[in-house]
Amino acid sequence: MMDSGVPRCNTCGEQVGLSSKGEVFVACQECNYPICQHCLDYEIKEGRNACIRCGTPYNDDSKVVADVGAEEIGNHTPIASHAQDKGIHARNISTVSTVDSEYLDDSGNPIWKNRVESWKDKKNKKKRAAIKERKEAQSAQVPTEQQGELTPESEAAQPLSQVVPLPKSQLTPYRIVIIMRLIILCLFFQYRVTHPVDSAFGLWLTSVICEIWFAFSWVLDQFPKWSPINRQTYIDRLSARYEREGEPSQLAAVDFFVSTVDPLKEPPLITANTVLSILAVDYPVDKVSCYVSDDGAAMLTFESLAETADFARKWVPFCKKFSIEPRAPEFYFSQKIDYLKDKIQPSFVKERRAMKRDYEEYKVRINALVAKAQKTPDEGWTMADGTPWPGNNTRDHPGMIQVFLGNTGAHDIEGNELPRLVYVSREKRPGYQHHKKAGAENALFPQRFDGIDKSDRYANRNTVFFDTSPLRLWTFISSHLNQEIFILLMAWQLLLLLSRQEGHKEKDLADVYRDAKREDLNAAIFNLREIESYDEHERSLLISQMSFEKTFGLSSVFIESTLMENGGVAESANPSTLIKEAIHVISCGYEEKTAWGKEIGWIYGSVTEDILTGFKMHCRGWRSIYCMPLRPAFKGSAPINLSDRLHQVLRWALGSVEIFLSRHCPLWYGFGGGRLKWLQRLAYINTIVYPFTSLPLVAYCSLPAICLLTGKFIIPTLSNLASILFLGLFLSIILTSVLELRWSGVSIEALWRNEQFWVIGGVSAHLFAVFQGFLKMLAGLDTNFTVTAKAADDTEFGELYIIKWTTVLIPPTSILIVNLVGVVAGFSDALNSGYEAWGPLFGKVFFAFWVILHLYPFLKGLMGRQNRTPTIVVLWSVLLASVFSLVWVKINPFVSTDDASVVAQSCIAIDC
User: Which residue numbers are catalytic?
Assistant: 295, 610
Tell me the sheet residues that pair with 291: 257, 422
d(CA 11, CA 21): 24
- According to the annotation, is 906 in a ligand binding site? no
Name the nearest CA neighbour of 239 among 155, 311, 318. 155
In this structure, are residues 13 and 38 in contact, taking their beta carbons and an 8 Å threshold?
Answer: no
Tell me the sheet residues that pair with 164: 230
- According to the annotation, is 266 in a ligand binding site? yes
In this structure, are residues 81 and 498 in contact, taking their beta carbons and an 8 Å threshold?
Answer: no
In this structure, are residues 131 and 575 in contact, taking their beta carbons and an 8 Å threshold?
Answer: no
Name the nearest CA neighbour of 86 among 250, 283, 286. 250
Helix residue spans in 592-641 (DSSP H): 609-619
Q: Is the dihedral of CA 485, 488, 493, 497 positive or negative?
A: negative
In this structure, are residues 88 and 48 in contact, taking their beta carbons and an 8 Å threshold?
Answer: yes
- According to the annotation, is 336 in a ligand binding site? no
The conformation of residue 382, written as its DSSP 8-state character, comes to B
Taking the CB of residue 172, how many other CB atoms lie within 10 A of it? 12
Name the nearest CA neighbour of 554 among 600, 528, 586. 586
The conformation of residue 116, written as its DSSP 8-state character, comes to I
d(CA 845, CA 703): 11
Are β-strands 400-405 and 420-425 bridged in parallel, bridged antiparallel, or unpaired?
Answer: antiparallel
- According to the annotation, is 436 in a ligand binding site? yes
d(CA 683, CA 317): 43
d(CA 322, CA 667): 52
Helix residue spans in 482-574 (DSSP H): 494-498, 509-517, 536-541, 545-552, 556-561
d(CA 190, CA 182): 12
Backbone angles phi, psi at 92, to 5 degrees: -110, 170
**Residue 392: CB partners within 8 Å, gap ≥ 6?**
380, 381
* CB-count exposure of residue 454 (10 Å: 0-12, 13-18, 19+): middle
Q: At CB < 8 A and 24+ separation, what contacts does 366-372 make?
A: 366/268, 366/269, 366/272, 366/304, 366/307, 367/269, 369/268, 369/300, 369/303, 369/304, 369/307, 370/263, 370/264, 370/267, 370/268, 370/269, 370/300, 370/304, 372/300
* CB-count exposure of residue 768 (10 Å: 0-12, 13-18, 19+): buried
For residue 777, give the 3-state DSSP assignment.
helix
As a three-state string, the secondary structure of 56-70 is CECCHHHHCCCCCCH
d(CA 549, CA 878): 60
Name the nearest CA neighbour of 275 among 467, 442, 418, 485. 418
Name the nearest CA neighbour of 889 among 706, 704, 698, 714. 706
In this structure, are residues 517 and 101 in contact, taking their beta carbons and an 8 Å threshold?
Answer: yes
List binding-site positions: 259, 265-266, 295, 436
Enumerate the known binding-site residues for UDP-alpha-D-glucose.
Answer: 259, 265-266, 295, 436
